[in-house]
Amino acid sequence: MSDAAKVRGTGIAKRTHAYVEKVMLENKAVLALYHGRFAGFSYIESWSHKLFVTNSGLIVHPDFRGIGVASRIKRRVFALARERYPMAKVFSLTTGAAVLNMNTKLGFKPVTFEVLTRDKEFWKGCESCVNYDILQRNGGAKCLCTALLYDPAEHIGEPPVDYNAASSSTQPKRREKVVLAYSGGLDTSFAVKYLSEDCGYDVYTATANTGGFSAQELATIEKHALELGAVKHVNLDITQEYYNKSIKYMVYGNVLRNGTYPISVSSERMFQAIAIIKYAKKIGADCVAHGSTGAGNDQIRFDLTFQVLAPEIKVITPTRDLSLTRDYEINYLKDHGFVGDFKKLEYSYNEGLWGTSICGKETLHSDENLPESAFLRPMTAHDDKHLTLDFVKGELDAIDGRHYDDKVKAIQDLEDLVAPYGIGRDINLGDTIIGIKGRVGFEAAAPLLIIAAHKLLEKYTLTKWQQYWKEQLGNWYGMFFHESYYLEPVMRDIEAYLTKSQRNVTGKVIIDLKPYRYDLVGVQSPFDLSKTGFGEYGEMNKAWTADDVKGYTKIYANPLKIYHYNQLKNGIADDL
């Protein structure tokens, strides 16, 4: 590479043999061979967290110059950049007329240096160029090189270009499969059209339902996906799995993030991501895509799960990478013949079995609360109600004496029963995975009531040390869930402990419902540790005598006596 640069009188960023080997193993390089002989080479590099890509190190062996090899390598490495980083801006710096001409044919436009990456590692590579002093004298703003940029946002709507047209292969290129996590909203609707028409993918849409969609809503989602151009749509019902592998343990652990939020969305997203990537692997997809933005937690949950469970599958994120406005997406869909009901609601909701999250203008301000109109389930119940919840080994078993084998149905029925009282509402202020604090409203009447009742029953049926250690592990379990670490093996260990801890958590919890609040009245349980015949707190001791207590207290006080005796012996008086 350096020899080729000397011939041109310019420079190529110096790379070690190990680095070149690395990009080749990562499928980021194009190698031209002629009957086993080296003919040419180029590779791609990403910068600024994959927002920019360069096609680097283009060289052609002297024996193969002048016959179009450089042009073919250039086209192929550009295609590779577009395949690996479809949303990234591709740029080039060159003083050569031939490269300038090739890039122009590919859609590159001359730009100023200011619009290129600010990644210091890229500009460090210019130090090996003979013209580097010119770049330094101009403060990095210009040099002898011409800056060329291909911006994919400027080519939206154009028919896909076959950058391999010059290839000698007569076989048509297979359209790659991408599985899109599809919710039916604006961002994922845009993604269907964009990925299929602009990027040339066969798009398979999948909706992973964790209890937030009705049958009618799922049918509408499927209809829209197919109208937008999806090859196939599937609804993946994972509600029971979500309960069995998540909600059950969050009840066992009384999991409330910051003592408030039942981590509804974060737990759902992990199972949705797992379901999507399993489906992608099942159909042999080349890529998987989601519609998360770059400002929240869900992008981490999806990306991490996909990378861990299927590192061989590319992850595509149009919403995050293109940073498009809502109006742009709506107009893009209109221009492509699809008009949906994407009216901007005052509030956005995420509904699921374990609660509904609410975002609106009030959640963006630290000193405002959500109004009554923001909640999907209005407060309509004005009469007090007596309610009982039965638990068997920690799981909700009955509501007002009605037994449920289907625990999902029990949660749904309880939500319908207690949500009209306006309970389970709050705003959670949390520390996000990406480092900023985030504020989200929620309504989760059934989850909060179940956890409150379960926790009360545990106070009567567990020892103090069972409660203590279970609280520690429950907090860790909830935190790992929120932080996208559900796949961490310690989570299975914590689940085993939580399950064992519930062996005596059986009984009835009595609750009084009132508008906007509830009272936990008490419990009835055969494992009630306060009903043992040993004594009645504050009233009567039956299993020990007064002298027993005197002797016990004397021994119990020994560590404190020893400490204070030593303090006095050394002339030190504690400030008490």
Residues with pLDDT less than 50, the chain: 1, 5-6, 8-11, 166-172
3-state secondary structure labels for all residues of 127-152: HHCCCHHHHHHCCCCCCCCEEEEECH
Residues 427-439 pLDDT 10s: 999 888 888 998 9
> Residue 34's beta-bridge partner residues?
37
Chain centroid to CA 109: 35
Beta 146-150 vs 402-403: how paired, if at all? unpaired
Q: Dihedral sign, CA of 230, 268, 85, 314?
A: negative
| pLDDT, position 172 | 42
Tell me the C-alpha distance between 272 and 305, whole Å.
Answer: 10
State the CB neighbour count (10 A cutoff) for residue 283: 13
Sheet arrangement for strand 402-403: 402-403, 395-399, 385-392, 507-514, 517-524
What pTM was estimated for this model as a whole? 0.70
Domains of the chain: 2-155 (3.40.630.30), 177-344 (3.40.50.620), 349-462+504-524 (3.90.1260.10), 535-569 (no CATH)
Do residues 507 and 460 lie in contact, with contact meaning Cβ atoms separated by under 8 Å?
A: yes
Backbone angles phi, psi at 80, to 5 degrees: -65, -40
- Measured CA angle at 301 (ends 122, 180), to 5 deg: 90
Chain centroid to CA 495: 22
Residues 390-438 pLDDT 10s: 999 999 999 999 999 999 999 999 999 999 999 999 999 988 888 899 8
| pLDDT, position 231 | 96
Tell me the C-alpha distance between 11 and 418, whole Å.
Answer: 71
Do residues 40 and 73 lie in contact, with contact meaning Cβ atoms separated by under 8 Å?
A: yes
Do residues 454 and 482 lie in contact, with contact meaning Cβ atoms separated by under 8 Å?
A: no
Tell me the C-alpha distance between 473 and 252, whole Å.
Answer: 10
Nearest Cα neighbor of 86 from 24, 163, 6, 7 is 163
Strands (E), 267-316: 287-289, 314-316
Backbone angles phi, psi at 280, to 5 degrees: -60, -40
Chain centroid to CA 119: 26
Helix, coil or strand: residue 141: coil
